[in-house]
Amino acid sequence: MQLDNIEERDLKMGLANQVVFAKTLEELAANDKAILVVTSDSRGSGKLVPFAEKYPKQIVEVGIAEQNLVGVAAGLASAGKKAFAVSPACFLSARALEQIKNDIAYSDNPVKLVGISAGVSYGALGTTHHSLHDFAVLRAINNLTIVAPADNFETEQAVRKAVEFKKPIYLRLGKKPMPFLNEADQSFEFGKGRVVRAGEDLAIIANGETVYPAWLAGKALEEEHGIKTTVVSMHTIKPLDTDLLEDIAANGRPILTVEEHMVNGGLGEACASFLFQNGFKNPFKIVGIPDEYTVTGSQVEIFNHYGISGSGLKDFALELFNSKK
Amino acid sequence: MTDREMKLKSIYLRKSLLKYIYKAKAGHTGGSLSCTDILNVLYNRVLNVDPKNFKNPDRDRYIQSKGHCVEALFVTLADRGFFPESDLETLCQYQSHYIGHPTKKVNGVEQNTGALGHGLPICVGEAIAAKLDNKTHRVFTLLGDGELPEGSNWEAFLSASHYKLDNLYAILDYNKQQITGSNEEVMNTGSVRDKLETFGWSVKEVDGHNLKELEEALNNGPFETGKPNFIIAHTTKGKGVSYMESNLKWHHGVPSPEEYELAQSELTEAEAEI
Ligand SMILES: Cc1ncc(C[n+]2csc(CCOP(=O)(O)OP(=O)(O)O)c2C)c(N)n1
Ligand SMILES: [Mg+2]
C-alpha cells in the first residue's frame, strides 16, 4: 500500500479491520451460542455472509432500519445475549443515536455496537456515508467505551475482549487493508494506548486508520530529520489513557494528534482537554477533517487533501517542532 | 417527444448510465436500471421543471429518496439540459460534485440524499408548504422497496394522510430486491398496497417499465381528493441487461470490459427493435 510519496516495505500487510472483525467473530461463535449478530441489510458490507451461512440461528436481520437494529440489540443484550449490532458507522451513530443513548448506554445494556466502513471509508459516496461525527456525539454519552483499532492485531483483540465485556461498547472499523504495527508489542487492553514507535523529541497520537500514516511520518521524521518520535495508537478514545498522555507530555515535547474524524470533539480535543486542565503547555496541534464541506474523492484522496498522510503529517509535525524554538 | 422517441430515450439513458458507471468504476447499477423508465417519464412527460430556471418556486419537486441510484438521475438531468453530459466524465473523481449520491451542488438536484428514509419526510414538508401558499405544483419522491422498513417512512406516511396531501406522489421502485436478498427474505413488507391504504393513501399499481402506464398514473392525480398518492411501480432490478436482471450481484457492481460490451450490444439490439 502506498499512501503518498512515502513508501513502506518493513511492515507486514494485513486485511481490512472489518474483515478481521468478521473472521474473529466467526471463530468465537462456533463455541458460544450466545453470540448474536444483528444486521440492517449490512451483512455484505460487514463481511458477515460466511458467518450467516455457518450460523443461521446466530444472525438477526432487521432490514434497513438502524433505529430498530439498536433497539433490538438492546433487548437481546438485556436477555443475556452477546449482541453485536453491525451497520455502517455513519447510520449507526447518527440514525440510531437516541437508541444508543437511552437503550444501550443509559439503560446499561451491554450491546457491542460495531460501526463499519467508518470515517471516510466510503469516499466518493459523500457526506451521507461518512462518519466524521461519531467520536464527538458518542463521547458525549455516559457509559460507553469507544474503540477505534489501528491494525489487525488490535482489532482481533478488541473483538475477543468485547465478547466478554459487560458494558456498552462501540467499535469503529474501516474497510481498507491495514499493515501490522509494532508486532513486538502484543499487549492490548481497552483504555490503554499502544506505543507503536518510541522517541523522545515529539509525539503523534492517532487512532484507527490514521495510525499507519502517523507511523510513516514518525519514521520519516527520525530518518530524515533526526527527530525521534513516539507514535501512539490511542485505540480507546473513551476512557482515555491519561497516564500515558501524562508520561508523554512530561518532557514538554510537541504533540500532534490525528484522527479520521472532524477536528471538533474527537481524539484531539479529548487529549487537549486533559492536558490543558492538568497544566501542560506542550506545543499541540489537532489534525483531522476540518469543519467544512468535505472535499469529494476516495478515502486516500480525502486523506491526502487534508494532510493525513506520511508526508502531510511529517510537515505538520515539523511546523509544530520548529514553532517550539 | 413521440412515444417511440420516449422508448429510445430509455435505452439511451440506460446506455449512458452504464457508460459512466463503467468509467467511474463505481455505481449502483441494478437499482439505476430499475428506475430508468420512471425517471424518463418524470423528467420528459411529468415534471414542470426548467433547466434554465431550476429555482422557480412554482416548479414541481422531485426528491430522490433512493439516492444510491444517482447515476440514473444524473444522466436524465444531463439529457434534459441541466448540465453538459461531459461533466459526468468526472463522476466520483477527486473534487468533482458528481459523487455517488445526489447533491445540491448539481443543477437540478432538490436535496442531498443517500441515507435511506429521508426523502419522504422532506416531501411532506414541501407539500404542506405548497398547500399553505396555495401553490399548485406537485411533489414527487422515489422510494426503494428495501428502504421501506426505515421507520421515518411510516411516520411520514401518517403525516401525509393527516395533512391530506393530495399534491404528494410517492413512487415505489418495487423490484423486490435489496442488497442481502429479496425483500421477503430480508424484511418482509407483506402487502404494501394494504398497508398504504390503511395509512390513508390512494394506491395505484403500474408496470414500472411501461412508459404509458407510468405517465397515465403520474399525470392523472390526485387519485382521490384529499389523499396522498402512492404508485407501486413493479420493476426488475438490472432491467435491460439480461445477465443483470434480478441478479443480486448487480446491486452495486462494475462490469468487466466484456460484460460492458455485452450490455451495450444488448441495448443496441433492443434499440433496433423499437
Ligand atoms: C439509512 C441507510 N441505511 C443503509 C444504507 C445502505 N444501502 C444503500 S442501498 C441499500 C439497499 C437498498 O435497497 P432498495 O431500497 O430496495 O433499493 P434498490 O433495490 O432500488 O436499489 C442499502 C442497505 C443507506 N444508504 N442508508
Ligand atoms: Mg429494491
pLDDT, tens digit, 9 for 90 and up, residues A88-108: 999 999 999 999 999 999 999
Q: Which of A147, A179, A211 is the last residue of a domain?
A: A179
Alpha-carbon torsion, ordered A97, A101, A107, A110, to 10 deg: 70
Residues A205 and A156 reside in one and the same domain: no
Q: Do A245 and A150 belong to one domain?
A: no
A39 and A155 fall within a common domain:
yes
Residue A4 in any domain: the answer is no
Sign of CA dihedral A236, A237, A243, A249: positive
Give me the domain span that covers residue A133: 13-179
What separation, in Å, do the N-terminal and C-terminal C-alpha atoms of chain B show? 15
For ligand 1, whether the C-beta of B34 sits within 6 Å is yes
Q: For residues A281-308, b (16+ Cβ closer than 10 Å) or e, as one string? A: ebbbbbbbbeeeebebbbbbbbbbbbbb
Residue B149, Ramachandran bin (φ over 0: left; ψ between -120 and 50: alpha; else beta)? alpha
pLDDT in tens, B99-149: 999 999 999 999 999 999 999 999 999 999 999 999 999 999 999 999 999
Residue A37 placed within a domain: yes
The C-alpha angle B126, B127, B128, rounded to 5 degrees, equals: 95
* Residue A252 cell numbers, joined: 514538554
Specify if A188 maps to a domain. no
Q: pLDDT of A16-46, one tens digit each?
A: 999 999 999 999 999 999 999 999 999 999 9
Whether the complex's predicted ipTM is more than 0.95 is answered with yes
Residues A150 and A201 in one domain: no
Q: Which residue of A has its CA nearest to B68?
A: A125
How many domains does chain B contain in total?
1
Closest ligand to C-alpha of residue B176 is 2
Share of chain A above pLDDT 90, in %: 94
Shortest distance, CA A301 to any CA of chain B (angstroms): 7
Same domain, A221 and A160: no
CA A96, A102, A106: angle at the middle one, nearest 5? 135
Q: For position A8, what pLDDT does the model report?
A: 57
For A41, nearest residue in chain B (alpha carbons): B180
Give, for all 325 residues of chain A, the pLDDT tens digit. 334 445 556 789 999 999 999 999 999 999 999 999 999 999 999 999 999 999 999 999 999 999 999 999 999 999 999 999 999 999 999 999 999 999 999 999 999 999 999 999 999 999 999 999 999 999 999 999 999 999 999 999 999 999 999 999 999 999 999 999 987 788 999 999 999 999 999 999 999 999 999 999 999 999 999 999 999 999 999 999 999 999 999 999 999 999 999 999 999 999 999 999 999 999 999 999 999 999 999 999 999 999 999 999 999 999 999 996 6
A27 with A175, same domain: the answer is yes
To the nearest whole angstrom, how far is the Cα of A62 from the nearest Cα of chain B?
Answer: 6
Is A267 within 8 Å of A259 (Cβ atoms)? yes
> Based on the domain organization, do A170 and A255 belong to the same domain?
no
Residue B251 CB contacts under 8 Å (≥ 6 apart), including other chains: B28, B29, B30, B31, B177, B178, B179, B237
Residues A142 and A204 in one domain: no
Pick the closest to residue B219 from B66, B6, B42, B38 (CA basis): B42
Q: Is A52 within the bounds of a domain? A: yes
Same domain? For A227 and A172 the reply is no
B146 touches chain A (CB under 8 A): yes
| A165/A207 same-domain check | no
- Domain of B174? 3-273
Residue located nearest, by CA, to atom 9 of ligand 1: B68
Residue A49 shares a structural domain with residue A111:
yes
The mean pLDDT value of chain A amounts to: 96
CATH assignment of the domain containing B221: 3.40.50.970
**Domain termination residue (choose one: A144, A179, A214):** A179
User: How many structural domains are present in chain A?
Assistant: 2
The reply to whether A203 and A239 lie within a common domain is yes
